[in-house]
Structure 1
Amino acid sequence: MQKLLLSGIATLFAAVGFAQSNTSTVNQDGTSQTASVSQAGSSLTSTVSQVGPGSNSANSGISIQIGTGHQLTINQNNSSYNRAGIWQENTSGPGSNTATINQNGNSGNGATALRPNDTRTTTPNALLGNWAGVKQIGSGNNGTINQNDAGTVNNFAETWQWGTGNSATTNQNGGAKDNKAEVFQGNDKRESSPDAEGATDVNVTGNTASIDQSGSVLNTAKVKQFSNTNTASVEQLGAFSSSNTAFIQQGATGASSAVAGGNTALIQQNGNTSQGNSATALQTGTGGLAQVIQVNNSNNNIGFVQQIAGTGSSGYVRQIGDAQSNSGTIIQTGDFHNALVEQGTGSSSNFGTINQGIAGVTLSDHATAYIGQVSGASSGTATINQNQASVGSYNKAFVLQTGVTTGNLATVTQENSYNTAGLLQTGAGSNTATFGQTGGYNVINGPASVNSGFFGSLDAARQDGNGNKMTVTQNAGTFGTMTTSNTATLSQTGTSNTLSVDQLITTAGGSNLSTINQNGMMNSVTVTQVNGVTP
């Protein structure tokens, strides 16, 4: 896009102090039309319309405005194979410019507009879909691109904003197909290929980005925001919204645990028969919030959240409402994080994974992880790892698999001391739970009842039903952490359940405690408590 518009920039800077309050209107009807508008000053207005009752294709509309307080609109509706580019710049202060591109209604109908090594020339290509690009330098700008309605296919929209307090909105909905939308706020260095990311150049704050690709299929949405207090949302909603990809990345360059974050990311891929979607949210810095929501008959979806190099962030993945064969993963490093994966209400064969603390990266203290596969969720897999091959303490991990459930698998692994793990599995049975805790003063328990949850009164880690299996290991860790004063409170109700407890003491004077209750028939329990202290 930069190559497309740079040619007129140099001459415009010389005229900024002289051209004021101008208005430009261009109307073109037909094919292979070209419109180029350049303005400099303040409070300028420009409108380019390449629409009409006849055939409108292979048109090019390019507009450049230098200064502040501008209004710029390009209309290429009911057209195909068009190019629309807007450049608005004010480097000496706030921009407060507004840019709008409309390419709605039966637009596109070609291969996606941007290709690797695309030089972005002003000559439209009849083999490509529509392309819309907005570049805004300065603060307080608004950029909007609309590529909506059925028949709108193979279009590409990109927005670049360099400054603070900017807003970018892209709409590709209502039956649009095979479209691509990208928003970059703070990154001004793309490589020749659109899929080869450039280096981060500028950190900006307080920006908002929104992409709406609802009721559409085979679309791609990408938002990249650099620095803190930014907000990004992607919506790929509605019936038969499928095979879409959403990606949000937020955070400052070289962010560490001391770098402010405060970014918010929301990806929604909901609706009736919404399937085969992929959602990824990446955040660095402190105090971030990332949410992936894939609900209501959403099948075969992937939800992924990663929050690193900071503290006090929250990550959520929700895949509920007859959602089948979904995968929800959250990775967090740092302290005081919260992670929630929820897969339930008639769901089955889902995978929920939370990793807090990664080898070679950083530890996690005072983190909370919760996986809920509830209300009839069956054949689900829940895995929580806290501080594997790293050191951290005071973490909490809870797994809830309830309802008319069967064949669920829960695994909780915690490294170091003062950690808590909880479990509740109910239903027909054939569920499996495995706990591994290394260090001292760790606890395994569960909620007193289904309704109390893990934040009410606590009792035992519990399995209800038949043919369940629970395995508990509390011993020395990777870093040689002493094991002492660990507690396991466990309960099984039903028939043919098995339970195994292995507790090791490596500190003189230490004492582990296991309390086990089994109710029913043909149940078995094995408890091993070993004194590993050398006399």
Structure 2
Amino acid sequence: MKKIILTGAALIAFAAVSYAQSNSATLNQNGNSQTAEQTQTGPGHVSTVSQVQGTAPATNTGNFGATEQTATNNTATVNQNNRANSNRARIGQGGGAGNSAIIDQNNGSGNNVGPITGASTEAAVRNGGTGGNWADIQQTGTGNINTYIIQGNATVGGTVQGNKATIATFGDNNGTDQLPGSNAPGNDLGGSTPVSPQVSIEQSGNANNNEATILQGRSGSPVSGNVVRIQQIQNSGGTVLVDQTSNNNYANVRQFGGADAAGDRNVTQVYQSGTGGDNQVEAQALGKGNTQTITQTGQNNQVYIRQEPENTTTFAQAKNDDNETVITQTGTMNRAVMDMRSTNSNATISQTGNENYARYEIIGDANSDTGTPGDNNDLTVTQTRVGSGAGNTQNVFNGRAEGDNNTVTVVQTGEGNRIGGTGSNDFGVNIDGDGNALALTQTGNDNLTNIRIEDGATNALSADNNQVEIKQNNTVNGSGNTVGSTPFGTSGNYGLELRGDFSDVRIYQGQNVPAGGKQNSVNMAIHSDATNVGQKNEVDIEQTGDNNRVGTGGSAYGTTTVDNASARGLYISGNSNQVSITQDGGDETKAKQNGNDKLTVKQQGGVATASAQSNRVLIDQQAGYNEADITQNGSGNFVYGLGGANTFATQQGGTMADPNKLNITQSTGGATGNNAFVGQNGAGNIVNITQSK
């Protein structure tokens, strides 16, 4: 064993070459404009370069430290810390496995002006006058360990400006066992933390305009099994780039905002590409004005995103505004989960392929589910299924928004897609708040949507002024689409549940289904606490094609009962709600009204034989001033009660001051004629029936 220790105050250059022995070289420098370069060839070598502070207030300014090693099981460390400023550090390791590379530019580094000698580029090492440090590590080979860079932590001398760190590895299973320091990123965003080694960069300490880049693999030389962690703590204007080529890689990025009143403006970009997939990203942004872009290709990829306010003892401002997130996934069985604890932020999720899953939550922006709700956020989700046919290949989306004036747009294309799955967190779209806008479009066959709008904190009827638009279009000879075909929640089976006033709902279902094909269906409930005609919800439902249903009824879809516990049709409770239903071609509507509401049903184009019913309305009106207008045009028109054929559509509880009104118009009739069964209880109820043949 050879062991060499060198110290110097000026310029020292050292090279050690050994083929038969393990060498150890340690070099200490204290002063300005120092250059240290060490080269070791062969396995098992140790190189340490230290360019650190002497007795305070002395500093090391404008230093260059580098180590080059080849072969296996080598260790290289460059220390430029304790008031070492405008420094450049580089480590290159190639040709083997089990190597370790560490660069430490920490503890008050990067605060003063200093000339750079040696390899001084990168704008004279981060522009000289700003005092930023520059570090890079390059490794080739597999199974390298302890690869990390630490910069910043301005506990001495003020603000760190513009540090830059780059790590490039070309091989599999490279990384570090543990990122030093108490701020090492943990896993709390829902993913599964890999246990393999990690490649890490930490930039901290009230810093501005830091850059952190990790590159793993390249075109023609893919890698797998790598783990990346990057932290930028108390940082404004920071940039993070992670590019991993191939499969089974993991990236964890955290950017914690600084004290810049104009916003943190941190940027994260993560690219994971490969035909196999199994990649995972966890990205967390705390602060204001941040941008996150995640792009993945392949299958079985996962993304977990969290945006929340910076709320530490040092920076106590609860701010998390004006952030932007873009997630793009191409392939099968990918997963994107986003947690927006923010206001005035934009997010886009795009998934192309089969069996993909996306979930978002816009919740309390005070870093808890019970904090101030997130307002004025804009979310767009696009899921495109590739191909067609049977099998569990649908895409699934779930979303929850707690707050006001949020906009959610979801577009699903293909067969069998779901807004709302079957798991405990598969709530469809759940909006708690006022003034939210929800637009859902599903194109294809056998798609499903579940929605709930309410005041989730109290379950009160106070979610007002919301807008919902649902468009479902199926393709030629396809199966019908559904708003609510499976139980929704634990207390009811609604497809769309609306609690509150002043809201506007538009549902359109179009189809090209041949006679006897599976119908489109809508199940929904409206609960209102409105007390006058100025406080009302408006719902328009339009269904085209044959065999459509408002209310599926029967068998696995619930009972024929329409009530607050098991509604499988249209349930209206409260005052001054207005519902309009238009159906084209042999359809059915089931409705129950309970309190000062108006229902309009128009059915056209019914075709029936002597033994079949075509257009059919099943309706009950409970206590209150309810009004229903029913128009049926075509053969086989029927108006019954909710009990089905030959039961009476009932009006109950009317008074002379507040009568129920039922207007029925039936034309043509056909082989089965027109049929209207109506029963009345109470005073002042009004029925008008017009039939023509």
Do they fold alike, i.e. is TM over 0.5? yes
Q: Distance in 2 between matches of 1:362 and 1:266?
A: 30
User: How far does the alpha carbon of each residue in 1:75-120 deviate from its partner, in whole angstroms, 9 at most, with x for none?
Assistant: 1112111111100001xxx411000111113333489x9xxxx966
Deviation at 1:155, TM superposition (A): 0.8
Q: Distance in 1 between matches of 2:376 and 2:333?
A: 31
Deviation at 1:139, TM superposition (A): 0.7
Q: Distance in 1 between matches of 2:265 and 2:482?
A: 43
1:432 paired residue number: 467
* Structure (1 or 2) with the greater strand fraction: 2
Q: Letter of the 1:381 partner, please give it.
A: T
2:39 paired residue number: 38
Residues 32 and 63 of structure 2 are in contact (CA less than 8 Å); yes or no, is this contact kept in structure 1? yes
1:5 paired residue number: none
Say which SS state the counterpart of residue 265 (structure 1) adopts.
Answer: strand
1:7 paired residue number: none
Classify 1:413/1:122 alpha carbon distance in 2 versus 1 (closer, same or farther; 3 Å). Answer: closer
2:481 paired residue number: 442
Residues 1:280 and 2:293 aligned together: yes
2:630 paired residue number: none
Deviation at 1:32, TM superposition (A): 1.2
Classify 1:121/1:344 alpha carbon distance in 2 versus 1 (closer, same or farther; 3 Å). Answer: closer
Classify 1:43/1:457 alpha carbon distance in 2 versus 1 (closer, same or farther; 3 Å). Answer: farther
User: How far does the alpha carbon of each residue in 1:488-517 deviate from its partner, in whole angstroms, 9 at most, with x for none?
Assistant: 112222241111111111xxxx40001322
Residues 333 and 362 of structure 1 are in contact (CA less than 8 Å); yes or no, is this contact kept in structure 2? no
Deviation at 1:328, TM superposition (A): 2.4
Q: Distance in 1 between matches of 2:25 and 2:124?
A: 20
Residues 1:519 and 2:573 aligned together: yes
2:97 paired residue number: 95
Q: Which shows bigger deviation, 241-250 or 423-432?
A: 241-250
2:65 paired residue number: 61
Say which SS state the counterpart of residue 275 (structure 1) adopts.
Answer: coil
Residues 369 and 397 of structure 1 are in contact (CA less than 8 Å); yes or no, is this contact kept in structure 2? yes
Residues 110 and 152 of structure 2 are in contact (CA less than 8 Å); yes or no, is this contact kept in structure 1? no
Deviation at 1:442, TM superposition (A): 0.8
Residues 329 and 341 of structure 1 are in contact (CA less than 8 Å); yes or no, is this contact kept in structure 2? no
1:104 paired residue number: 106
Q: Distance in 1 between matches of 2:153 and 2:122?
A: 25
- The correspondence for 1:314, drawn from 328, 332, 335, is 335
Say which SS state the counterpart of residue 207 (structure 2) adopts.
Answer: coil
Q: Distance in 2 between matches of 1:432 and 1:344?
A: 19
Deviation at 1:16, TM superposition (A): 8.0
Q: Distance in 2 between matches of 1:307 and 1:124?
A: 35
- The correspondence for 2:383, drawn from 343, 356, 371, is 356
Q: Distance in 1 between matches of 2:255 and 2:486?
A: 37
Q: Letter of the 1:469 partner, please give it.
A: D
Classify 1:39/1:491 alpha carbon distance in 2 versus 1 (closer, same or farther; 3 Å). Answer: same
Residues 438 and 483 of structure 1 are in contact (CA less than 8 Å); yes or no, is this contact kept in structure 2? no
Q: Distance in 2 between matches of 1:299 and 1:380?
A: 13
1:379 paired residue number: 405
Q: Letter of the 1:99 partner, please give it.
A: A
Q: Letter of the 1:342 partner, please give it.
A: E
Q: Distance in 2 between matches of 1:278 and 1:213?
A: 14
Residues 1:485 and 2:485 aligned together: no
Classify 1:219/1:238 alpha carbon distance in 2 versus 1 (closer, same or farther; 3 Å). Answer: closer
Q: Letter of the 1:468 partner, please give it.
A: S
- The correspondence for 2:302, drawn from 289, 293, 299, is 289
Q: Distance in 2 between matches of 1:326 and 1:124?
A: 32
User: How far does the alpha carbon of each residue in 1:206-260 deviate from its partner, in whole angstroms, 9 at most, with x for none?
Assistant: 00111011222221111111111111110113675932111111122xxxxxx32
The correspondence of residues 123-134 of structure 1 with structure 2, limited to 5 A, is 126-127=128-129, 129-134=132-137
Residues 1:407 and 2:435 aligned together: yes
The correspondence of residues 247-262 of structure 1 with structure 2, limited to 5 A, is 247-252=269-274, 259-262=275-278
Residues 1:215 and 2:244 aligned together: no
1:417 paired residue number: 445
Number of residues of Structure 1 aligned to a counterpart in Structure 2: 472
- The correspondence for 1:81, drawn from 78, 86, 89, is 86
Say which SS state the counterpart of residue 379 (structure 1) adopts.
Answer: coil
Residues 1:141 and 2:195 aligned together: no
Say which SS state the counterpart of residue 227 (structure 1) adopts.
Answer: strand
Q: Which shows bigger deviation, 159-168 or 23-32?
A: 23-32
Say which SS state the counterpart of residue 579 (structure 2) adopts.
Answer: strand
1:18 paired residue number: 19
TM-score (norm 2): 0.64
Classify 1:338/1:457 alpha carbon distance in 2 versus 1 (closer, same or farther; 3 Å). Answer: farther
Q: Distance in 2 between matches of 1:174 and 1:100?
A: 19
The structure with more radius of gyration = 2
Say which SS state the counterpart of residue 521 (structure 1) adopts.
Answer: coil
Q: Letter of the 1:353 partner, please give it.
A: T
Residues 72 and 98 of structure 1 are in contact (CA less than 8 Å); yes or no, is this contact kept in structure 2? yes
2:556 paired residue number: none
Deviation at 1:281, TM superposition (A): 1.5
User: Once the two structures are aligned, what percentage of the paired residues are identical?
Assistant: 29
Classify 1:317/1:98 alpha carbon distance in 2 versus 1 (closer, same or farther; 3 Å). Answer: same
Deviation at 1:30, TM superposition (A): 1.1
Classify 1:458/1:379 alpha carbon distance in 2 versus 1 (closer, same or farther; 3 Å). Answer: same
- Give ranges in structure 1 of 5+ residues lacking alignment: 1-11, 188-199, 253-258
User: How far does the alpha carbon of each residue in 1:21-50 deviate from its partner, in whole angstroms, 9 at most, with x for none?
Assistant: 011111111111111111001110001111
Residues 141 and 172 of structure 2 are in contact (CA less than 8 Å); yes or no, is this contact kept in structure 1? yes
Residues 57 and 82 of structure 1 are in contact (CA less than 8 Å); yes or no, is this contact kept in structure 2? yes
Residues 1:156 and 2:164 aligned together: yes
Say which SS state the counterpart of residue 236 (structure 1) adopts.
Answer: strand
- The correspondence for 1:263, drawn from 279, 291, 297, is 279
Classify 1:442/1:124 alpha carbon distance in 2 versus 1 (closer, same or farther; 3 Å). Answer: closer
Residues 138 and 162 of structure 1 are in contact (CA less than 8 Å); yes or no, is this contact kept in structure 2? yes
User: How far does the alpha carbon of each residue in 1:110-159 deviate from its partner, in whole angstroms, 9 at most, with x for none?
Assistant: 89x9xxxx966999973462110000000111311010212322110000
User: How far does the alpha carbon of each residue in 1:398-436 deviate from its partner, in whole angstroms, 9 at most, with x for none?
Assistant: 453444x11011111001101001111113311111110
2:417 paired residue number: 395
Q: Select the structure with the greater relative contact order (CA < 8 A; seq sep ≥ 6).
A: 1
Q: Which shows bigger deviation, 336-345 or 438-447?
A: 438-447
Q: Distance in 1 between matches of 2:481 and 2:17?
A: 68
Q: Distance in 2 between matches of 1:247 and 1:145?
A: 19
Runs of 4+ in structure 1 displaced over 4 angstroms?
A: 118-125, 238-241, 361-365, 446-449, 532-535
Classify 1:354/1:59 alpha carbon distance in 2 versus 1 (closer, same or farther; 3 Å). Answer: same
- The correspondence for 1:300, drawn from 309, 316, 322, is 322
Say which SS state the counterpart of residue 223 (structure 2) adopts.
Answer: coil
Q: Distance in 1 between matches of 2:323 and 2:485?
A: 30
Q: Distance in 1 between matches of 2:429 and 2:19?
A: 69
User: How far does the alpha carbon of each residue in 1:433-488 deviate from its partner, in whole angstroms, 9 at most, with x for none?
Assistant: 11100113210028867x63xxx9632311111111111111148x99x9851001
Q: Distance in 2 between matches of 1:76 and 1:206?
A: 31
Q: Distance in 2 between matches of 1:518 and 1:419?
A: 25
Q: Distance in 2 between matches of 1:140 and 1:185?
A: 13
Classify 1:170/1:502 alpha carbon distance in 2 versus 1 (closer, same or farther; 3 Å). Answer: same
Deviation at 1:530, TM superposition (A): 1.5
Q: Distance in 1 between matches of 2:496 and 2:53?
A: 69
- The correspondence for 1:528, drawn from 582, 591, 602, is 582
Residues 33 and 59 of structure 1 are in contact (CA less than 8 Å); yes or no, is this contact kept in structure 2? yes
Classify 1:164/1:522 alpha carbon distance in 2 versus 1 (closer, same or farther; 3 Å). Answer: same
Residues 230 and 254 of structure 2 are in contact (CA less than 8 Å); yes or no, is this contact kept in structure 1? yes
Q: Letter of the 1:267 partner, please give it.
A: A
Q: Distance in 1 between matches of 2:485 and 2:24?
A: 69
Say which SS state the counterpart of residue 256 (structure 2) adopts.
Answer: coil
